[in-house]
Structure formats: C-alpha cells, structure tokens
C-alpha cells in the first residue's frame, strides 16, 4: 500500500468516527426533543409554596425597535402564573425616541397592577448623570441598555428575556423550580447556577400568496407592528409582486425558522442533555445576581486577575464584549459554587420568537453576526461547525463507507464514486426525515400551555387558532435545501473573511481576545482601545476605549 493510500484510508477512518459521532449527538438531541415536547409540562412547584418561601424574580427585557409582535411578546411577561407581588418587570430602552418606547408606556399602563418600570438608558445616572460618564461602560448596547435595571433589581433572581421572545404562563415557575432544585415529590433536588430555554423561531408571513388569516389578523396587524400610510405593516409594503421577490424579501424568516428548529435545536438539546460544555443563547436566561456579582469581583473571585483601575461587577463586567450571553454562562459554568450544578435547560418550555419580513440578506447577516461574535469564544466548535451540517457530514460518511476496506469485505460496499454518490443521497434523505419530524414536533405546540391570551404564532400547528403547518414539498423542503446550501458559504464568509459585525444599529470590530471596539469611533479612540488592555474573564487581554471603565 502506498503512502497516499494510507493517508486516504486514515482520512476515511477519521471521517467515519466524526460522522458516527455527529449521528449519535443528533440522536440524543432528537430523542430529548420528542421526550419533552410531546405533552404539556407539569405545573410548577414554586407558585404553590407559602408566600414567604416564594423567591422574588426580577424580569429584565431589553428593547430595541419595533420587533414583530412586540406587544404580545412583552405582554407574556405579565401573564405568568407567578405571585404578583413576587415579580418585578423592568422594560429597558436606549432612548425615548426609539419607536418601541410608546409600546413600553402602553404596557406599563395596561399592566399597572404589576411592579413594572420603564428604564431609559439616556436617563441612567451612571452614564449621563452629573457624576456619571458615557464611557463608564463598554460599547455593548445590550449591557448599556439593561445596566441600571440590573443594578436596581429586587431580590436575587434575575431573568433576562429578549424583547422578541414570547414565554408561556408556567415558564417562570418551572425556571425557578429548575434553578432552585424544587421537585414535585417534595424532595430537594440539586439546584443549578444557570437555567435557560430552547429558542424557537416562527415565521408569520406566507411566501406563496397573501398572508394567512392567522398572520394577517393576529401578527402582521398587531399593535406593535410599524405601519405604512396605507395601514399595512412596513415589512409588507415592499414590492412583492412576484414569488421571487417575496422569497428574496421575506424568505430569511423561513431560513431562520428552519435553522432554529433543526440543526440548532438538535445540537442545543443534545449538548445541554449531556452537560459537558456551556451551550446557551441569550434569549431567556435565569441566574442569581449574587453569584454574578461575586464572580466578577476580583476581590472575591481569585481566578480573576487583579485590576489597577476600578472595575465594575455584575453584568457591567461584560460591557466590552458583544457575546455577553455566552461569557456569563461560561463564567458561571467554570466557577466553583459548592452544591450547585452548572447549566439546566428547562425542557418542554420554548422561548418563541415570531419573525416577519426578514429578507434572505438579513438572515445571512444575522448568521454572520452570530458566527463572528462567537468564533473566538468557542473557537473549536466554530472551526468544526461545517462538519456537523448535513451535506458535508453525509459526504464524510459516504467517503468512509466506500473507502474503508472492512465495509467492502464484510458488507460488499463498492469502492466507486457512484456508490459514494448513492450513499450520500441515502444519508441525506435520512437526515431530511429526522429534521422534518423534529421540526414538526417543535412547531406542533404540544408542550404549549394555550389559553385565550396565547397569540396565534405561539399556539403551534396542533392547537386551534395556531399557525398553519408547512407543506413538505412546497414550503419545507425548499427552506431546508436553502438553509443547508447557504450554511458553508455563510460560515466561510463569517469565520475566514471578516471580523466586523453590525448589531443594534452599531458596527463593531470583534478582536481575538473577545473584546469589541465600536468601528465608527474616531481613529484616536480605536488606537487607545488597541493599546490599553485589561484581563478578560478567561485570563486573556481585552481592550478598553478611552476612559471607559472595565
């Protein structure tokens, strides 16, 4: 056997091991999804406890612009089955000129029986007061948005929920149950440091004709949707006369819906089932303020390097990063807190995100931002990501089966290109069916607690008034193929060909130490940020811009 043949066979064995590993991980994820999303979850324990034993929860919701169904998503916070006097809701916006600000005022008025408050970043005394300074925090717009709400939180439990997320009525109790280790049998389970939810995107726009009744009446014309002079939402006011135009202007929502209900859901569920590494997204996360305050204080956490300058603690610690959700989870995951487990995914409850009017270009931009923001935080996972996608992973499998002698000798697998092509098609077909059943299970809404206040996009396809199901050949397969074909080009562009991201109206340069610098800052500030560094949460060096405290 020649050296080249040995190399080819060695590569085949590596491909076999990798593809087998990916198939096993997918199987774990799919099994967990079917086990947890096939029935209504049990009522939570926490709300039924004596009042003095029910922990107070501060819900913080950062808001930026008019997201689809914004009012319904934020209103879900006020429909939770949790003692009213044990909930505090903080709605956060950067400035009063934000188009979402009137919606927040309306919510505060409609639910004035709650402990609810609207925070405006431009009124934060830390940033704009007589003793404050705009550079007291780093450039991360989300951290700047929620900083005051976090500092003024009531109680110890913080629940951060993005503004475009809808949550079910029993979610708060089950999140607290998981965090505290409360069980239905009355026994005390092991509490967690951090709990979170599986996100699910629901596209509310029809690509094949006029909007469906559910989308038109309940989603597209909601009180939170920006409208044109003719009364239609602005994202339907574009020139959508042809099918191609509709796909170009609105198809990104289907691609995002597909990604979140297949590839992302399978691996997110699998990794959090095994619990070998922190795997979170910042959609709906709950943790203890006391833990984060302690672990971000060098005086109390010896694993953090000492700082010569004053250093903010708590959530402000991460203001120089754009990937704060992962860094918070990673810090809690790595830190030793006796008696507590690391991360707990609340299986069955979904963080539902409605979307509408997302163009294909917007979807690509969103995926590029995700990858660039996270590539230096989880670099190994980022580098191997193309290998977990269907088209490439199935090619690995087909190459291995038609190259390794054992399969030819024992099973008679031909060692030809034609055989490799047929095996690739067969494994892709199996992958398609796994994704189809996983997608249908997640979007069916079997685990959703539906009542008269549940909006149509959150009901699922199996409940009355819910979103219509996707046709397998006309809608689902085109979206699946589009998502899979775009995966590798998006990864290549994001990981290998750039380091800037556009987020919340700002452009950032993501540096190798995971810090970010505002791209449109004056050159002198950029140079200052590059030349002055302070230790990062995992021991690296991160930048500081001008007098910004970090």
Cα distances (Å, whole numbers) of residue 29 to 130, 194, 205, 259, 393: 52, 20, 28, 14, 17
Let me know the angle formed at the C-alpha of 360 by 441 and 267, rounded to the nearest 5 degrees: 35
> Could you tell me where the DSSP H helices lie in 165-303?
171-180, 213-214, 243-261, 263-274, 289-295
Residue 288's nearest CA partner among 326, 331, 318, 257 is 331
Q: Which residues pair with 353 in a beta bridge?
A: 201
**Which pairs with CB-CB distance under 8 Å and at least 24 residues apart come from 463-470?**
465/214, 466/214, 467/202, 467/204, 467/212, 467/214, 467/215, 467/443, 468/212, 468/214, 469/440, 469/443, 470/439, 470/443
325 is catalytic: yes
Sign of the CA dihedral running 61, 63, 68, 70 = positive
The β-bridge relationship of strands 157-161 and 87-93 is: unpaired
Euclidean distance between CA atoms 267 and 435, whole angstroms: 12
Q: List Cβ neighbours of 261 (8 Å cut-off, separation of 6 or more).
A: 200, 201, 438, 439, 442, 443
Sole residue written with tokens 């995700």: 370
Which of 162, 177, 316, 325 is flagged as catalytic? Answer: 325
**Would you name the residues annotated as active-site residues?**
325
């Amino acid at each position: 056997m020649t050296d080249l043949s040995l190399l080819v066979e060695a590569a085949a064995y590596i491909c076999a091991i990798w593809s087998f590993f990916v198939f096993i991980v997918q199987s774990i994820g799919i099994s967990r999804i079917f086990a947890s999303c096939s029935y209504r979850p049990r009522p939570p324990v926490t709300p039924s406890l004596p009042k003095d034993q029910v922990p107070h929860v501060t819900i913080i919701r950062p808001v930026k612009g008019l997201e689809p169904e914004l009012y319904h998503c934020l209103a879900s916070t006020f429909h939770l089955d949790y003692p009213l006097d044990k909930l505090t809701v903080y709605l956060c916006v950067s400035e009063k000129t934000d188009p979402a600000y009137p919606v927040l005022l309306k919510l505060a008025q409609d639910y004035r029986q709650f402990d609810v408050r609207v925070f405006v970043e431009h009124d934060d005394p830390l940033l704009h007061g007589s003793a404050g300074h705009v550079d007291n925090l780093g450039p991360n717009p989300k951290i700047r948005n929620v900083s005051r709400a976090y500092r003024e939180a009531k109680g110890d439990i913080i629940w951060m929920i993005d503004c475009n997320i809808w949550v079910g009525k029993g979610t708060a109790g089950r999140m607290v149950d998981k965090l505290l280790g409360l069980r239905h049998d009355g026994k005390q389970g092991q509490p967690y440091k951090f709990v979170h939810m599986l996100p699910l995107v629901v596209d509310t726009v029809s690509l094949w004709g006029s909007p469906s009744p559910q989308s038109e009446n309940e989603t597209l014309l909601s009180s939170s949707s920006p409208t044109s002079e003719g009364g239609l939402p602005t994202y339907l006011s574009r020139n959508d006369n042809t099918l191609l135009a509709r796909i170009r202007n609105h198809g990104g929502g289907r691609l995002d819906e597909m990604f979140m209900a297949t590839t992302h859901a399978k691996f997110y569920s699998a990794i959090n089932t095994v619990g070998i590494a922190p795997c979170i997204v910042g959609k709906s996360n709950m943790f203890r303020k006391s833990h984060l305050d302690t672990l971000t204080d060098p005086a109390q956490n010896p694993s953090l390097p000492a700082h010569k300058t004053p250093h903010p603690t708590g959530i402000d610690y991460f203001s120089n990063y754009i990937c704060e959700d992962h860094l918070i989870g990673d810090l809690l995951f790595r830190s030793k807190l006796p008696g507590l487990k690391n991360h707990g995914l609340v299986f069955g409850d979904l963080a539902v995100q409605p979307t509408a009017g997302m163009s294909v270009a917007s979807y690509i931009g969103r995926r590029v931002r995700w990858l660039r923001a996270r590539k230096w935080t989880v670099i190994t996972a980022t580098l191997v990501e193309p290998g977990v996608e269907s088209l490439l992973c199935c090619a690995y499998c087909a190459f291995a089966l038609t190259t390794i002698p054992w399969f030819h000798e024992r099973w008679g697998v031909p060692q030809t290109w034609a055989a490799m092509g047929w095996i690739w098609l067969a494994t892709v077909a199996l992958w398609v069916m796994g994704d189809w059943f996983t997608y249908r299970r997640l979007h069916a809404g079997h685990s959703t607690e539906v009542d008269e206040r549940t909006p149509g996009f959150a009901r699922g396809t199996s409940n009355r008034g819910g979103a219509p199901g996707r046709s397998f050949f006309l809608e689902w397969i085109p979206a699946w193929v589009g998502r899979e074909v775009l995966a590798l080009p998006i990864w290549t562009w994001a990981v290998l060909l750039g380091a800037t991201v556009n987020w919340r109206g700002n452009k950032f340069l993501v540096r190798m130490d995971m810090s970010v610098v505002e791209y449109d800052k004056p050159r002198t500030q950029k140079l200052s940020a590059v030349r002055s560094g302070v230790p990062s949460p995992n021991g690296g060096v991160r930048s500081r811009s001008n007098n910004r405290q970090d």
